[in-house]
């Protein structure tokens, strides 16, 4: 039994160290932003449109996402995360950049437990509660 426990502990230590090595590799190759453009061809005319822009924080989380339709802003979101990389806030903006609504999330033990949606005047629009069942 002691040998099995020792083997398990050694495997856990190995997995932990490999995970740290992989995370360090990813940290060195962080992506700050991604811009996607699309080219459309109509006869001899080429039109190029920006399709989307995505911005990331140092942890690899999406902090801003902008979708375009024919080169104009269609959807625009900004996100905030806690120290454990859980999304805790989401803001939606209209095409002119005006805040439409804000969603705030409560996280307990790494799980989302509540979502509150506010309008642009900080008035509550809705609330959702998440209840998990374990085996």
pLDDT band per the 50, 70, 90 thresholds, residue 23? very low
Give 64 or 23, the one with higher predicted confidence.
64
pLDDT, the chain, mean = 83
* Within-domain flag for 134: no
* Within-domain flag for 71: yes
Same structural domain, 102 and 54:
yes
Q: 87: domain CATH number?
A: 2.40.128
pLDDT of residue 3: 55
pLDDT tens digits, one per residue of 45-99: 888 999 999 999 998 999 999 999 988 999 999 999 999 999 999 999 999 999 9
Q: Report the distance separating Cα 68 and Cα 53, nearest Å.
A: 8
pLDDT of residue 29: 66
Residues sharing a CB contact under 8 Å with residue 92, sequence separation 6 or more, in sequence order:
75, 76, 77, 99, 100, 101, 102, 103
Same structural domain, 55 and 104:
yes
Same structural domain, 100 and 63:
yes
Domain that holds residue 5: 1-30
Same structural domain, 44 and 8:
no
Same structural domain, 51 and 102:
yes
Same structural domain, 21 and 46:
no
Count structural domains, the chain: 2
């Amino acid at each position: 039994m002691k040998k099995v426990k020792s083997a398990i502990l050694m495997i856990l230590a190995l997995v932990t160290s490999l995970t740290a090595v992989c995370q360090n590799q990813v940290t060195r190759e962080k992506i700050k932003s991604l811009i996607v453009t699309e080219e459309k061809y109509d006869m001899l005319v080429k039109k190029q449109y920006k399709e989307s822009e995505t911005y990331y924080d140092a942890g690899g989380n999406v902090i801003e996402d902008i979708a375009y339709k024919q080169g104009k802003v269609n959807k625009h979101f900004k996100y905030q995360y806690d120290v454990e990389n859980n999304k805790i806030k989401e803001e939606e903006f209209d095409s002119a950049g005006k805040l439409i609504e804000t969603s705030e999330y409560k996280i307990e033990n790494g799980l989302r437990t509540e979502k509150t949606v506010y309008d642009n005047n900080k008035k509550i629009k809705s609330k959702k509660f998440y209840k998990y069942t374990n085996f």
